[in-house]
Structure 1
Amino acid sequence: MCAYIAEPACLSDAANISAMMQRSFGQLLAKDYAADVLDSALPMMTSANEDLLATGTYFVVRNGKRNIVGAGGWTDLSPTRGLGAFGEGHIRHVAVDPSALHQGVGRALMEEAFISAQSFGITSLRCQSTLTAEPFYAAMGFERLQEIDISFAPDVHFPAVEMRKVLN
């Protein structure tokens, strides 16, 4: 296993993050989601969110100088409802390149997010996990709260799992 380091993302990383997300979500989610669900949802899931990239709490992991093999972070804004509860943050838009799975990339992203969130006074984190990523988040200390349906558009619904982790 390589020792990866997560660093804050830059706006100039957007194209590389989007390309990595297309590889990641396109390959990895296929085992847990029907093709028609992915055909509708993937176009809305695989573009880097420039607002997130500008937060300073969204991170990338690189394999070499430019090759991004993972991205993700947190905000104090809920992805669906705006401001969350006081002291609560939200894990946002996490992906790992399929070529870098099980090498510590996701762990590096989450550990950086935990440290960053705690430095801002965040005491718990929620995430909207894909069905595929639920075991990863459980291994990172998140507990399953409930199954949810993420609505990307009026007719685009994506099954997911809401999870929560209390930070030490």
Structure 2
Amino acid sequence: MAETTTIRIATLSDLAAVDALLARAYPRLLAKHYPPSLRVMAVPHLARAQPALLASGRYYLAVNGTGQVLGAGGWSPSRRKEHADIRHFVTDDRHVRRGIGREIMERIFADVKAAGIARLDCLATRMAVPFYGAMGFAELGPVRINLGPGIDFPAVRMQRTL
């Protein structure tokens, strides 16, 4: 990476910074893979920080030396025993391909393993499939996520065994 980043656990006090990151990055990152009409409807649902996730102790931020949030992502235990779900993963669109997402994911892998969980599941946006593939996730197939009335968002179900 060009600049030093630190991975830390998010707190509720990070809500505004994560909201700003999601609102800025998602529209730009999704632009090449989803039509404008879908983005206009979907981004307001996708680009909101989730307070319960930020307070869970399982959501991480990559921050630079000035405290700017360059990436975020976390995990939650699944309803299925020994499974966990990747949650709300994003890298600042101005800082992609610099190892930030990898650093966050490696922290998730370590913490999930320590929790005794053997498998990670995720619903990846089309643009994120190559990243998850590089992190050892296998594609299980396309899915549609219902974000609200008339908003079915295409994604790809992926999974990794730890």
Shorter-chain TM-score range: over 0.9
Cα shift readout 1:61-88 (whole Å, capped 9, x = no counterpart): 00124210100010013xxxxx2x1100
SS, match of residue 105 in structure 2: helix
User: Identity over the aligned pairs, expressed in percent?
Assistant: 37
129-138 or 99-108, larger mean C-alpha shift = 99-108
CA RMSD of aligned residues (A): 1.0
Contact between 1:143 and 1:164, CA under 8 Å: does it hold in 2? yes
How far apart, CA to CA, are the structure 1 residues paired with 2:17 and 2:39?
A: 21
Does residue 100 in structure 1 map to residue 95 in structure 2?
A: yes
Structure 1 residue runs of 4 or more that deviate by more than 6 Å after TM superposition: none
Q: How many residues align?
A: 161
How far apart, CA to CA, are the structure 2 residues paired with 1:92 and 1:105?
A: 16
Contact between 1:129 and 1:160, CA under 8 Å: does it hold in 2? yes
Contact between 1:4 and 1:108, CA under 8 Å: does it hold in 2? no
TM-score scaled to structure 1, two decimals? Answer: 0.93
Cα shift readout 1:19-43 (whole Å, capped 9, x = no counterpart): 1111111101000000011000000
Structure 1 gap ranges (5+): 78-82
Q: Which amino acid aligns with 1:144?
A: E
Q: In structure 1, what is the equivalent of residue 151 of structure 2?
A: 156
How far apart, CA to CA, are the structure 2 residues paired with 1:14 and 1:135?
A: 28
Q: In structure 2, what is the equivalent of residue 55 of structure 1?
A: 56
Cα shift readout 1:96-140 (whole Å, capped 9, x = no counterpart): 001111111100110000001111111010000000000000000
Q: 1:137 aligns with which of 124, 132, 139?
A: 132
How far apart, CA to CA, are the structure 2 residues paired with 1:42 and 1:123?
A: 31
Correspondence list, 1:4-153, <5 A: 4-77=5-78, 83=79, 85-153=80-148
Contact between 2:6 and 2:64, CA under 8 Å: does it hold in 1? no
How far apart, CA to CA, are the structure 1 residues paired with 2:44 and 2:18?
A: 14
Q: CA deviation at 1:9?
A: 0.4
How far apart, CA to CA, are the structure 1 residues paired with 2:55 and 2:112?
A: 16
SS, match of residue 132 in structure 1: helix
Structure 2 gap ranges (5+): none
TM-score scaled to structure 2, two decimals? Answer: 0.96
Q: CA deviation at 1:154?
A: 2.2
Contact between 1:24 and 1:98, CA under 8 Å: does it hold in 2? yes
SS, match of residue 126 in structure 2: coil
How far apart, CA to CA, are the structure 1 residues paired with 2:117 and 2:95?
A: 29
